[in-house]
């Protein structure tokens, strides 16, 4: 399952995540840089079990009866987790009764905080347990084909020819069974694809862009959706990618260069004047707002340990402020999409409802809830509004 030489490495990475408040993907990348002898299969095992331990922290600590405060303890918990996976935790095992007791409480069984369990039930009611259970699974690896350079049929052939197991999904998406050496392929170097969850790929088309439009991606981040918008607009027109973090915009510029995108201009939001100068300038506006990230818990399992009531409240205020301030950039007759990767209605339908009550010049054109239970992918919400 996991070779003995990898276990100290995995334990050390997970300890680094919690001790130094690092994101799992960053900690994995940093530690693997010092382990160049590992092959792609071993690197995959390191990533898989790092995420599994972060995800199952509360359940494992409760069942074993320890607090994970050192790499040595994490290695012990890793061994316990492997026993669970292999079906060895049966009656007669020294910790069998402890494990059964841990499973009796929902928050412990699902390995989440009590606050999150209460909030989830408040927001989703009877759908909460099935939803968080689905989000406790490992994330699926999905690619978005860059149609500015190729098509999904050619990309699929290219990846399969290199021994990568992939299959086509609707639209321009490909499901990847195992990443392996994906980022060493020529297809990646030449910008033929981006990693992007299937449901995340539904946001940009929902904006209904056309070539030649002026489009504003107002919370662009690293630019995944801006690049998708550029492909949908056939590299024509103008896409303004705005963000308050200049480091993310630099990543966007690098990704755009690799993808062959030339109609995206990044702009740092460092004051309100940037928004004011863009008043009623855009045909389309995308507001992929900061949120709790509860819909992408599969790929960011540490969120469950970081999120609390105060943070959720701050995020909700930020979402409302962005909706109100950034909606002024839309021309009359234009369309705006508000999107989150959250499953909580308080960040989704409630925000849109409040905004429409306060802004009679906007109407709801369509809204979609992409449920992780029903779709098997990440949880997303999107609402398309029209400025009358």
The whole-angstrom separation of Cα 266 and Cα 245 is 11
Cα–Cα dist 276/57, whole Å: 46
144: its two tokens: 């978005």
What secondary structure, in 3-state letters, does the chain show? Answer: CCCCCCHHHHHHHHHHHHHCCCCHHHHHHHHHCCCCCCCHHHHHHHHHHHHHHHHCHHHHHHHHCCCCCCHHHHHHHHHHHHHHHCCCCCECECCHHHHHHHHCCHHHHCCCCHHHHHHHHHHHHHHHHHHHHHHCCCCCEEEEECCCCCCHHHHHHHHHHCCCCEEECCCCEEEECCCCCHHHCHHHHCCCEEECCCCHHHHHHHCCCCCCCEEEECCCCCCHHHHHHHHHCCCCCEEEEEECCHHHHHHHHHHHHHHCCCCEEEEECCCHHHHHHCCCCEEEEEEECCCCCHHHCCCCCCHHHHCCHHHHHHHHHHHHHHHHHHHHHEEEEEEEEEEECCCCHHHCHHHHHHHHHHCCCEEEEEEEEECHHHHCCCCEEEEEEEEC
Dihedral, 236, 242, 246, 252 alpha carbons, nearest 10: -30
Active-site residue 219, yes or no? no
* Cα-based distances in Å from 99 to 95, 108, 214, 334: 6, 10, 57, 56
Vertex 166 angle, CA 162 and 168, to 5°: 130
User: Catalytic: which of 145, 219, 291, 341?
Assistant: 341
**Catalytic residue numbers, as ranges:** 341
């Amino acid at each position: 399952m996991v070779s003995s030489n990898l276990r100290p490495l995995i334990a050390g990475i997970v300890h680094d995540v919690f001790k130094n408040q690092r994101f799992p993907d960053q900690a994995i990348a940093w530690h693997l840089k010092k382990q160049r002898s590992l092959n792609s299969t071993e690197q995959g095992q390191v990533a898989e079990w790092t995420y599994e331990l972060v995800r199952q922290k509360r359940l494992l600590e409760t069942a074993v009866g320890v607090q994970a405060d050192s790499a040595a303890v994490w290695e012990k918990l890793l061994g316990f987790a492997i026993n669970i996976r292999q079906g060895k935790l049966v009656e007669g095992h020294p910790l069998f009764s402890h494990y059964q007791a841990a499973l009796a409480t929902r928050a412990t069984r699902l390995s989440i905080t009590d606050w999150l369990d209460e909030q989830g039930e408040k927001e989703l009611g009877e759908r909460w347990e099935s939803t968080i259970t689905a989000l406790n699974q490992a994330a699926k690896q999905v690619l978005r084909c860059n149609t500015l350079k190729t098509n999904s049929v050619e990309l699929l052939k290219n990846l399969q020819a290199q021994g990568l197991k992939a299959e086509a999904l609707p639209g321009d998406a490909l499901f990847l069974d195992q990443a392996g050496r994906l980022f060493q392929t020529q297809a990646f170097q030449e910008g033929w694809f981006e990693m992007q969850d299937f449901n995340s790929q539904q946001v940009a088309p929902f904006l209904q862009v056309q070539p030649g439009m002026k489009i504003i991606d107002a919370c662009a981040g690293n630019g995944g959706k801006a690049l998708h918008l550029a492909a949908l607009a056939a590299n024509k027109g103008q896409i303004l990618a705005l963000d308050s973090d200049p480091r993310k915009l630099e990543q966007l510029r690098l990704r755009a260069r690799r993808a062959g995108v030339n109609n995206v201009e990044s702009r740092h939001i460092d004051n309100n004047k940037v928004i004011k100068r863009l008043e009623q300038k855009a045909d389309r506006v995308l507001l992929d707002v900061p949120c709790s990230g509860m819909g992408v818990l599969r790929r960011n399992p540490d969120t469950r340990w970081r999120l609390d009531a105060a943070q959720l409240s701050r995020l909700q205020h930020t979402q409302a402020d962005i909706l109100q301030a950034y909606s002024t950039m839309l021309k009359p007759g234009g369309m705006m999409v508000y999107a989150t990767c959250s499953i909580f209605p308080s960040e989704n339908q409630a925000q849109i409802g409040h905004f429409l009550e306060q802004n009679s010049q906007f109407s709801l054109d369509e809204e979609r809830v992409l449920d992780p239970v029903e779709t098997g992918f990440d949880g997303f919400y999107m609402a398309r509004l029209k400025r009358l």
